[in-house]
Structure 1
Amino acid sequence: MTPQNTDDIYDCVIVGGGPAGATAAHDLARTGRRVLLLDKAGRIKPCGGAIPPRLIQDFDIPESVIVARARAARMIAPSGRVVDMPVEGGAVGMVDREHFDEWLRVRAAKAGCERRAGSFTTIDRAADGTAVVVYEPKGSDSAEVRIRTRTVIGADGAKSRVAADSIPGGGETKCVFAYHEIIKSPAPSADRGDAFDPARCDIYYQGRLSPDFYAWVFPHGETTSVGVGSANKGFSLRDAIRTLRKDLGLDEAQLVRKEGAPIPLKPLKRWDNGRDVILAGDAAGVVAPASGEGIYYAMLGGREAATAVGELLQTGDVRALAATRKRYMKAHGQVFMILGIMQHFWYRSDKRREGFVAMCNDKDVQRLTWDAYLNKRLGKPDHMAHLKIFLKDTAHLLGLAPTRPKPTA
C-alpha cells in the first residue's frame, strides 16, 4: 500500500528528479531501501548537454543515451578570433536533457524507486519527530499529500525549496540565469562555412552576447542547444540568442523548445540540517564556476547523498550527513576555486576575454584543461607547464601579452 496520510513510512523521499535526484534514488533503491522520487514533471533545465568520459564510466551510461560526440571545442573572442581545442584521443558525449533525465528516472524506477509528480511544499514533523514531506500532487484537485520519511534528499535546483525550508543559509545562493533554445540542427551549407560543426562545441566569450558569462552552441545530433548565461538582471538573454542565431545563419532553424533556469555560482557552506535532510546537485550549489558544468557534479552529489543517507539509516549516526560535504569538497573544491578565480578575472571585460581566448591557444593550457575536464581531476604536477601558464596568465592580466595572432608572411 502506498504511504499517503498514513502511519506508513519511507526510508527516503527525494525531492527533484534531475541528474542528482534520479541518481540518488537509483543508488538507494538498488540497496533495497524504500524510496520515493518526487518530481515536477515536464521541467527541463537549459543545458549544453556535455558529459565527460568519467561520467559515462562511473555511472554506467549506455551508448544509446548519447546523441552525439564532440571532438573539439572552439573559443570565440570578442574580436571574432577563434581558437580550436581538439580533444586529443577522445571525445565528449552529448545528451539532450529532455531524454537523458527521464532515462535516469526510469532507471531509478526499475531499481525499485516509486515515482510521483508534484510540487514540494514543506517538511513538517510528526509527534515522534519524524519528517513529514508535504506536497501538492500534479494534475489533481485533491488536498495536499503528507508522507512520513526517515530522511529527505533535496535535489530541487538552485532555488531549492527544501534548502530554504530546512538548511541554514539554503536557497540564498547567487546565480547565473541560463536560457537556451533547442533548434533543429542545420544541414551542411557552403554559405555557412565552418560556423557550425555537428562534432564541435562553440563557446562565445563576447560581452555583446553575455556581459559576465558566455554563450554557446552545442550540437545534440538532430537538435542543437543555442544558449547563454548572465547574472546581470538587466541583460536580455533572449535578445542575445536572437543575435547569435542570426549571426550564424540559424535564425530560420525550427525551434523545438526553449527553457530558462538559475545556475548557482558557489557551493553552499552547509548541505544538511544535522538531523535527516541533505542537499545534492544545484540545490547544494555544486556547479563548476566559469564553465557552468553541472551534470557530472550533480550526479556525483546525488551518489554521495545516497551514500550518506544509507549510512545514517544503518547506524543512526547523523555525522554521516555533514561528512558528505567535506569529502566532496576535498575531492573537487580545488577545481571549483580555480574556476571561480578564472571567472572573476577573465569574464569582467572584453579586453580580458580577448586575452583569455588567446591563452587558450597554448598547447599546455589545452592539455591540462582537457585532462581536468575529461577525467574530473587536476592532472599530475607538470611544473614547467604550470609555470608557463602562470607567466602567460600574468602577462595577459597586465596587458603585456599580444591577444591577436602574429601575421604570417
Structure 2
Amino acid sequence: MYEVFDVAVVGGGPCGAIAAMHLARQGLSVALIDPENRIKPCGGAIPSRLLTDYAIPESLLVSKANAARIIAPSGKTVEMRIGDIGYVGMVDRATFDPYLRARAEAAGARRIRARAESLEYRSDGALQITLSSPSGDRTSRIAARQVVGSDGANSTVRRQMFPAARKPPYVFAYHEIVETPAEPDPALFRPDRCDVIYDGHVSPDFYGWVFPHGRQTSIGCGSAVKGHDLRKATSELRRAAGLNDARVIRREGAPLPLKPMRRWDDGRSILLAGDAAGTVAPSSGEGIYYAMLCGKLSADAISLSLATNKASALKQARRSFMRDHGRVFFILGLMQTIWYRNDRLRERFVSMCADPDVQRLTWQSYLDKKLVRSDPFAHARVFLKDTAQLFANLAGQK
C-alpha cells in the first residue's frame, strides 16, 4: 500500500510550485515532486508586476534593468529605456525556485525529493506514480486522483501519457553564469541594462543575450538549427561584452518550447502546464511569468475538476490562458517568423526598435502582459512602419 494524494504536481519549478501552493491552500492533499538537483538555464528576466501578482519579495531580485540595448548584425545598437512605468527584474533560478518550493511546503504541500519515472492509471481511476531518488538508487510509489505535469520541456508526464505528435516546437538554449567584474567597461556592459543580440553568427533563428544578475551575469543564446555551436556563439558574446576573462560559475543548457500545445489535458486526470504545455513566449523566449500564471490556472482547473468530478473542467486552464495571452503569442510568433530569418531582416528589425512608438508599446505590453489598446493611432503607425520595412526588404531582394 502507498499513500494517495488528491493531486500530485510533477516538477517544482515556478509553475509547479505555484500550482502546489494554491492547491494546498484550498485544503487538498498535494505532493510536490522534484529531485531538486538541477538549475534550469534561464536568463531570469521577469516583469515588475510579477512581484505584486504572486507576492514575491523584492529581496529575491538580484538586479533591476531599466533598459535594453538591441544589437544588430552590423553592430548598430538601439537603446530602449523603460522610463517610469516599471522595470525588468532579474532572478537567479538557483535561489528563486527553492524559495517557491518552500512556500508551497509552508502552505501544506508535501515535498518529495524524487524524479517521476513512470505513470499509469489504476483500476480505480487514480494515477500510480513510480518515483526514483535523486541518486537513482531507490524507488517508491505514490498515487493521486489528479496530476499536474509541470516537469519542463522534456516532460516525463507528457512523453508517457500523451501522443508523441503533441510535442511542441523547440529552440535549444545554452548560457553561462559568470562573475560580474567589479569595474566593467561601461561602453560594453552595464549592470542596469539587458543586451539582446540579433546576429546570424550568434543565432541563425533566435537571439543572444547578456543579462545582468548583480554579482553574476547570464550570457547565452538559443537556436533550433542543428549543428549550430551555441558554446562558440556564447564565447563570442562574452568577448563582445568585455567579459571574456570573467570566471565561469556554471554552464547550463535546455530546450525551450515556443508554441502552446493545442490540448493540455488527457481527458481524464492529467493536466500539463508551463514548459511542458509549451507556454514559453515566441520571439522573446520569456517563460517565468507565463509558467507561474499556468501554475495558478492549473490549480483552479484541477480544483474545479475535483469538486465537480468532471474531467472537462481541466480544459479551463488552456482556455483561460489563450483567451488572455493567445493573441500576444500569435503576434510574437509572427515576428519571429518574419524578422529572424536572415541578417538583412534582423538589421531592419533593430532599426524599427529605434521608433518611440515601438519602444513605448513594447515596454507597456511586456510589463502589463497584454496588448496595449489605449492608443490605436500608435498601433496604426507601428503597423505602417512595419509594413514599409518589410516591403523595402522584399524589394531589395529582387
Counterpart among 23, 43, 46 of residue 38 in structure 2:
43
Aligned residue type for 1:12? V
Task: State whether residues 344 and 393 of structure 2, in contact with CA within 8 Å, keep that contact through their aligned partners in structure 1.
Answer: no
Residue 147 (structure 1) aligns with? 142
Residue 162 (structure 1) aligns with? 157
Q: Determine the C-alpha separation between the residues in 2 that align with 1:273 and 1:106.
A: 29
1:375 aligns to 2:368 (yes or no): yes
Q: Determine the C-alpha separation between the residues in 2 that align with 1:106 and 1:302.
A: 16
Aligned residue type for 1:246? R
Task: State whether residues 155 and 283 of structure 1, in contact with CA within 8 Å, keep that contact through their aligned partners in structure 2.
Answer: yes
Task: State whether residues 168 and 270 of structure 1, in contact with CA within 8 Å, keep that contact through their aligned partners in structure 2.
Answer: no
Task: State whether residues 26 and 108 of structure 1, in contact with CA within 8 Å, keep that contact through their aligned partners in structure 2.
Answer: yes
Residue 64 (structure 2) aligns with? 69
Give the CA deviation at 1:394.
1.2
1:271 aligns to 2:267 (yes or no): no
Task: State whether residues 159 and 171 of structure 1, in contact with CA within 8 Å, keep that contact through their aligned partners in structure 2.
Answer: no
1:132 aligns to 2:125 (yes or no): no
Question: Is the deviation greater in 128-137 or in 330-339?
Answer: 128-137
Residue 55 (structure 2) aligns with? 60
Give the CA deviation at 1:327.
1.4
Residue 78 (structure 1) aligns with? 73
Give the CA deviation at 1:84.
0.5
- Secondary structure (helix, strand or coil) at the match of 2:20 reads helix
Q: Determine the C-alpha separation between the residues in 2 that align with 1:139 and 1:372.
A: 43
Counterpart among 188, 195, 201 of residue 202 in structure 1:
195
Structure 2: runs of 5 or more not aligned = none
Give the CA deviation at 1:322.
1.1
Aligned residue type for 2:117? T
1:286 aligns to 2:279 (yes or no): yes
1:96 aligns to 2:71 (yes or no): no
Q: Determine the C-alpha separation between the residues in 1 that align with 2:102 and 2:125.
A: 32
Question: Could you give the per-residue CA deviations for residues 326-373 of structure 1, whole angstroms, max 9, x where no partner exists?
Answer: 111011000000000000000000000000000000010011111110
Counterpart among 330, 337, 342 of residue 337 in structure 1:
330
Task: State whether residues 164 and 170 of structure 1, in contact with CA within 8 Å, keep that contact through their aligned partners in structure 2.
Answer: no
Q: Identity, % of aligned pairs?
A: 52
Residue 123 (structure 1) aligns with? 119
Question: Is the deviation greater in 341-350 or in 161-170?
Answer: 161-170
Q: Determine the C-alpha separation between the residues in 2 that align with 1:80 and 1:61.
A: 37
- Secondary structure (helix, strand or coil) at the match of 2:392 reads coil
- Secondary structure (helix, strand or coil) at the match of 1:322 reads helix
Residue 407 (structure 1) aligns with? none
Residue 168 (structure 2) aligns with? 173
**Could you say if the C-alpha distance between residues 140 and 172 of structure 1 is closer, same or farther in structure 2, counting changes exceeding 3 Å?**
closer
Task: State whether residues 163 and 170 of structure 1, in contact with CA within 8 Å, keep that contact through their aligned partners in structure 2.
Answer: no
Structure 1: runs of 5 or more not aligned = 404-409
Task: State whether residues 189 and 242 of structure 2, in contact with CA within 8 Å, keep that contact through their aligned partners in structure 1.
Answer: no
Matched positions, count: 395
**TM-score, length of structure 1 as denominator length:** 0.93
Counterpart among 330, 353, 358 of residue 365 in structure 1:
358
Residue 7 (structure 2) aligns with? 12
Task: State whether residues 164 and 171 of structure 1, in contact with CA within 8 Å, keep that contact through their aligned partners in structure 2.
Answer: no
**TM-score, length of structure 2 as denominator length:** 0.96
Q: Determine the C-alpha separation between the residues in 2 that align with 1:193 and 1:265.
A: 33
Counterpart among 210, 213, 217 of residue 206 in structure 2:
213
Aligned residue type for 1:128? D
Question: Could you give the per-residue CA deviations for residues 137-178 of structure 1, whole angstroms, max 9, x where no partner exists?
Answer: 223523x32211110000011121101222345662210000
- Secondary structure (helix, strand or coil) at the match of 1:351 reads helix
Q: Determine the C-alpha separation between the residues in 2 that align with 1:176 and 1:206.
A: 16
- Secondary structure (helix, strand or coil) at the match of 1:399 reads helix
Task: State whether residues 129 and 142 of structure 2, in contact with CA within 8 Å, keep that contact through their aligned partners in structure 1.
Answer: yes
Task: State whether residues 28 and 306 of structure 1, in contact with CA within 8 Å, keep that contact through their aligned partners in structure 2.
Answer: yes
Q: Determine the C-alpha separation between the residues in 2 that align with 1:283 and 1:379.
A: 28
Structure 1 runs, 4 residues or longer, greater than 3 Å off? 168-171
Give the CA deviation at 1:395.
1.5
Q: Determine the C-alpha separation between the residues in 2 that align with 1:53 and 1:313.
A: 34
